[in-house]
Amino acid sequence: MKEAMSKDLSTWDEDYNDIVEEIRARLVRLATAHEGEYTAVLLQGSGTFCLEATITTAVPADGLLLVLINGAYGQRMLDIAKRCSIPCTSVDFGETSVPDPEVIDRVLDDNPAITHVAVVHLETTTGILNPLEDICRIVKQHDKVLLVDAISSFGGISMDAADLGIDFLISSANKNIQGVPGFGFVIAQKDRLAGCEGRARSLALDIFDQWQTMDAHHSKWRFTSPTHVVLAFRQALDELDAEGGIAARHDRYMQNRKMLVDGMRALGFETIIPDELQGMVIATFLEPESPTYDFKRFYDLLKQKGFVIYPGKVTSAKTFRVGHIGEVYPDDVVRLLDAIKASMFWLDG
């Protein structure tokens, strides 16, 4: 991908716009077999930019957004809605539980004013994989517009947006498709997106206008696009195909996860959620109960050995997180576990 990024192309260049057009079509094919019903809208920035763009474009002034929360990233969607004065409400299921479809059903029954529902598919606060199929079924039974934060799941879990009834699916270049950071994308049901004209609260984050411009001008972006990141992303899509597609990549990620969790438990670490709720992206571990343990020191020791881990985001417990996606293979997990074992300074003496 770094080699692909070494080429310079103008955002106006026909060859560059051919590449963007190709990427948009390939993203739709990854998302659904019903390609004619959906479009892909690319947008500068991170996945959160695309979340904000979707929420502030999709929900009308007289709408009401229900946000289903079981971690920091669901809370972020609610924060976006509140900051942008989007009418909203929420249900918080706790950081170590999945959204309960029966509760969602009751909330939608009791609140007919709700027009849109937003949920995170894979909540990386803990690594929980939420029951998307059950959630989609309930939301669609109530005929609500569904926004899915698939930033940490798309490209790593097979799904069909049309079959599930997803109206707006949001993800980014740098997760399971293994591109580099710099843009995100919204895979939108065309009829739903067509109804969003004039709703956006932002000029730059108006996904309706971005879609209209891309469709009318052979996938040209409205504003300067991250050309080198786009070139890297096309290479990443090629590498996904070469690996065998989403199913093959999911299998590798799951193998990484099992090796990591089993190895960490053998070293005495505990996961915060049970295996049956665990997704394939990141695992959350409880910090050691030792007066000499210090996350910063642990982090620095692992960094010296070539590994970077994540601090915890769970509010109710002291944790840290270890990602196991990307260009990561079983041999890498073995090396990580060896590095962790060698860095457990709190066991000295």
Q: Which of 243, 261, 289 is the last residue of a domain?
A: 243
DSSP state of 183: E
Average pLDDT, the chain: 97
Claim to verify: residue 285 and residue 201 sit in the same structural domain: no
Q: pLDDT by residue (tens digit) across 2-57?
A: 899 999 999 989 999 999 999 999 999 999 999 999 999 999 999 999 999 999 99
Instruction: Say yes or no: 203 and 258 in one domain.
Output: no
Query: What is the Cα–Cα distance from 209 to 31, expressed in whole angstroms?
Result: 22
Containing domain of residue 29, as a range? 4-243
Of the residues 191, 218, 243, the one at which a domain ends:
243
- Residue 72's Cβ-count burial label (10 Å; 0-12, 13-18, 19+) is middle
Task: Burial-class residue 290 by CB neighbours within 10 Å (0-12, 13-18, 19+).
Answer: exposed
Q: Please write the tens of the pLDDT for every residue from 259-279.
A: 999 999 999 999 999 999 999
> Does residue 164 share a domain with residue 22?
yes
Number of domains in the chain: 2
Question: Phi/psi of residue 208, each to 5°?
Answer: -65, -50
Continuous segment of H or E residues that includes residue 323: strand 319-323
Dist. CA 194–CA 244, nearest whole Å: 34
Query: How do residues 146-176 score in pLDDT, each as one tens digit?
Result: 999 999 999 999 999 999 999 999 999 999 9
Q: Are residues 253 and 125 in the same domain?
A: no
Take residue 91 and report the two structure tokens written for it. 């249900």
Are 284 and 236 in a shared domain?
no
Q: What CATH number should be reported for the domain holding residue 210?
A: 3.40.640.10
Tokens of 180: 């580099």
d(CA 293, CA 2): 38
Query: By three-state DSSP, how is residue 167 classified?
Result: coil
Select from 209, 190, 158 the least CA-distant residue to 31. Answer: 158
Q: What is the pLDDT of residues 168-221, one digit of tens each?
A: 999 999 999 999 999 999 999 999 999 999 999 999 999 999 999 999 999 999
Q: Are 202 and 215 part of one and the same domain?
A: yes
Instruction: Output the domain CATH number for residue 321.
Output: 3.90.1150.10
In the chain, % of residues over pLDDT 90: 98
Domain boundary at 211, 243, 275, which? 243
Band (1; pLDDT cuts 50, 70, 90)? confident
pLDDT of residue 222: 97
Same domain, 260 and 304: yes
Amino acid at 346: W
How does pLDDT run across 218-244, given as a tens digit for each residue? 999 999 999 999 999 999 999 999 999
Query: Which pTM value belongs to this model?
Result: 0.96
* Residues 143 and 18 occupy one common structural domain: yes
pLDDT per position as a tens digit, 50-86: 999 999 999 999 999 999 999 999 999 999 999 999 9
Phi and psi at residue 292, to the nearest 5°: -100, -5
Q: Indicate if 42 and 185 belong to the same structural domain.
A: yes
Same domain, 327 and 178: no
pLDDT in tens, 103-135: 999 999 999 999 999 999 999 999 999 999 999
Domain co-membership, 139 together with 40: yes
Examine the domain organization and report whether 229 and 262 are in the same domain.
no
**Is residue 349 predicted with pLDDT exceeding 60?**
no
